[in-house]
């Protein structure tokens, strides 16, 4: 359908501003995180522009007439191609009945039209700023997803077919799943009984060689007779647990590094409790990253280490390296990390992806009060926010398959890790939202002070291997790439296919359908210039990274001992902190 209401940048784009009708203090009480009020303000803005609203209404009436005519023609036997079709990635309407049967085809067409038309109206509301329109459109789309006919038994042809074919067993099994999930207070993405950490996942041999109240440092058993002399220290995110880097042996980045001759250390963070609410970003830098790197240097006997940071671990590593450069210069010594790698890491938070929907001053003030009372952000809340970003695949598809189809969830290592959530300490979390997401201060020289040192990313001169993922909705690749203009260092950049997890956990395999772009990048390069100069490759980017590391991580030496007298084994890998569960995680 060519209706203007389904086109972006429609005829209402350049209308005048509308007045705000509710005081911010009142709204903070009624709707603290802005789930409803942005949509209300959108409709108020339209009411303030009656001429445009009447024109829009007339177009809707015309479109409705066309949809009704299509429905009548189908009832009378006409085989019409649909005017509106689901997106290619939308699997909700895969059942053939949605295309082949007149009633279902018309229902689908009406649902898609009205949900998209209203979403377009909200996106282009006259008199609302861009951020407010995005927020209103986001929440409207979530409501529209929830109201999809596929989520209702009597409006889902596949659910009814299965109920008939199984003589009601699918519904009986779905009810059993519902009762179990209500008791467990969770909507499982996978079979949470299929894996056990340390037995099925995170099984690479190693030992905890250091422990404090914030982290354990793991050192892994070498798998080759010789290793590079410079250790590799992986700074994992403390949002979720470290074993995304060490799933099964086939998927484990840790094991692949070991098998290629690298000496690997890794951080495993404490799952915070209420008494850790005062833990700050300073603590994660000084008692976390600094300690992990010192442990690797002292145990290995090396003078330098390569550091790898993933997600928030990469952002923290960037802060630490800015501090390290200042201190090394003041102390007339070498920087302990002469080159580094970031994986799906944001340092410029101007556009942090759809997560920005949850982050504005009123929402942050509300969340600050909640987490300060608890002492931490509960992992359940954070998980729910990320699942809302892709509600069709991470919420409603699970609801339909479990409760309407009666299907059991299938084992999946990555989804198990995703459900094994962690908490965040209150003060660190509030600082993270305020200083980075709201104020974007990390990119402003000397706007932040951490560990008693002003942060200036321009001080970082160490070569960087930078990895982004093209379908990443948590760290959008174009935003990740902004680090190029902030650091006066040589860089090699990779743009991997897939998303925030699978774009990074991307081991070489003969049947891989993944691809990536790779190439050196100059500080003056635009994305277009880099893309034109880069090379498109199939498969995994890991071999390119390993080759880059081999050029920089020292000579071949006999494999390092796992432990020594100064750093004895405190526990076998994967350690004790990784086994600490949040209240809704797997037992």
Catalytic residues: 311
Q: Determine the angle formed by the axes of helices 130-146 and 37-47, rounding to 10 degrees.
A: 110
Four-point Cα dihedral 204, 210, 211, 212, nearest 10: -140
155 Rama class: left (phi>0) / alpha (psi -120 to 50) / beta: alpha
Find tokens 């969830």 and name the residue. Answer: 409
| Rounded CA separation 444/349 (Å) | 11
CA distance 96 to 105: 10
Closest residue by Cα to residue 576 from 313, 254, 269: 269
Count of helices and strands (H, E) across the chain = 21, 17
Q: How far is CA 233 from its chain centroid?
A: 22
d(CA 503, CA 498): 5
Angstrom distance (rounded) from CA 495 to CA 327: 33
Indicate the pairing of strand 232-235 with strand 306-310. parallel
CA nearest 190: which of 472, 402, 498, 507? Answer: 402
d(CA 313, CA 321): 12
Spatial distance between the Cα atoms of 150 and 169, rounded to a whole number of angstroms: 19
What single string gives the DSSP state of each residue in 284-305?
A: HIIIIIHHHHHHHHHHH--S--
Query: For residue 540, what are its two tokens?
Result: 């995994």
* Nearest C-alpha neighbor of 365 from the set 4, 25, 21: 25
For 455-533, where are the E strands, in sequence order? Answer: 464-469, 491-496, 515-521
């Amino acid at each position: 359908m060519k209706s203007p209401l389904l086109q972006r940048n429609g005829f209402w784009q350049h209308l005048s501003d509308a007045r705000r009708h509710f005081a911010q203090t009142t709204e903070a009480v009624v709707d603290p995180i802005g789930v409803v009020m942005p949509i209300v303000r959108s409709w108020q803005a339209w009411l303030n522009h009656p001429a445009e609203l009447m024109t829009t209404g007339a177009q809707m009436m015309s479109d409705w007439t066309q949809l009704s005519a299509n429905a009548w023609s189908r009832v009378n036997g006409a085989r019409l191609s649909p005017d509106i079709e689901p997106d290619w990635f939308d699997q909700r309407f895969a059942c053939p009945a949605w295309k082949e049967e007149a009633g279902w085809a018309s229902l689908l067409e009406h649902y898609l039209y009205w949900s998209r038309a209203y979403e377009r109206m909200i996106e282009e509301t006259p008199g609302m700023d861009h951020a407010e329109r995005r927020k209103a459109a986001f929440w409207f789309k979530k409501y529209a997803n929830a109201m999809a006919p596929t989520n209702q038994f009597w409006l889902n042809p596949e659910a009814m077919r299965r109920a008939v074919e199984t003589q009601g067993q699918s519904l009986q099994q779905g009810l059993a799943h519902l009762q179990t999930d209500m008791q467990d207070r969770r909507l499982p993405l996978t079979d949470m009984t299929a894996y056990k950490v340390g037995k099925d996942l995170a099984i690479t041999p190693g030992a905890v060689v250091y422990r404090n109240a914030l982290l354990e440092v793991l050192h892994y058993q070498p798998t080759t007779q010789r290793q590079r002399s410079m250790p590799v220290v992986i700074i994992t995110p403390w949002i979720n647990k470290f074993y995304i880097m060490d799933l099964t042996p086939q998927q484990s980045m840790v094991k692949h590094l070991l098998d290629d001759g690298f000496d690997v250390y890794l951080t495993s963070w404490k799952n915070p409790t209420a008494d850790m609410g005062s833990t700050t970003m300073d603590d994660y830098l000084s008692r976390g990253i600094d300690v992990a790197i010192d442990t690797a240097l002292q145990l290995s006997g090396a003078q330098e280490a390569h550091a790898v940071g993933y997600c928030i671990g990469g952002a923290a590593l960037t802060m630490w390296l800015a501090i390290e450069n200042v201190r090394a210069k003041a102390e007339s010594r070498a920087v302990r990390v002469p080159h580094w790698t970031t994986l799906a890491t944001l340092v410029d938070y101007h556009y942090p992806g759809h997560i920005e929907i949850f982050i504005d001053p009123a929402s942050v003030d509300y969340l600050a009060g909640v987490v300060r009372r608890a002492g931490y952000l509960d992992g359940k809340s954070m998980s729910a926010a990320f699942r809302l970003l892709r509600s069709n695949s991470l919420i409603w598809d699970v609801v339909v398959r479990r409760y309407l189809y009666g299907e059991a969830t299938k084992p999946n290592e990555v989804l198990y890790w995703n459900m094994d959530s962690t908490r965040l300490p209150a003060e660190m979390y509030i600082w993270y939202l305020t200083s980075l997401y709201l104020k974007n201060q990390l990119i402003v020289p000397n706007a932040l002070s951490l560990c008693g040192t002003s942060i200036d990313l321009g001080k970082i001169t160490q070569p960087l291997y930078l990895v982004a993922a093209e379908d990443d909705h948590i760290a959008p690749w174009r935003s990740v790439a902004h680090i190029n203009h902030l650091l006066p260092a040589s860089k090699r950049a990779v743009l991997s296919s897939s998303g925030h997890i699978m774009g990074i956990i991307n081991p070489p395999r003969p049947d891989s359908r993944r691809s990536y772009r790779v190439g050196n990048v100059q500080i003056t390069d635009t994305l277009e210039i880099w893309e034109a100069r880069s090379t498109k490759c199939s498969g995994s980017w890991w071999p390119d990274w390993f080759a880059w590391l081999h050029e920089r991580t020292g000579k071949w030496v006999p494999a390092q001992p796992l432990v020594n007298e100064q750093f004895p084994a405190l526990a076998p890998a994967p350690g004790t902190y990784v086994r600490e569960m949040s209240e809704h995680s797997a037992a």
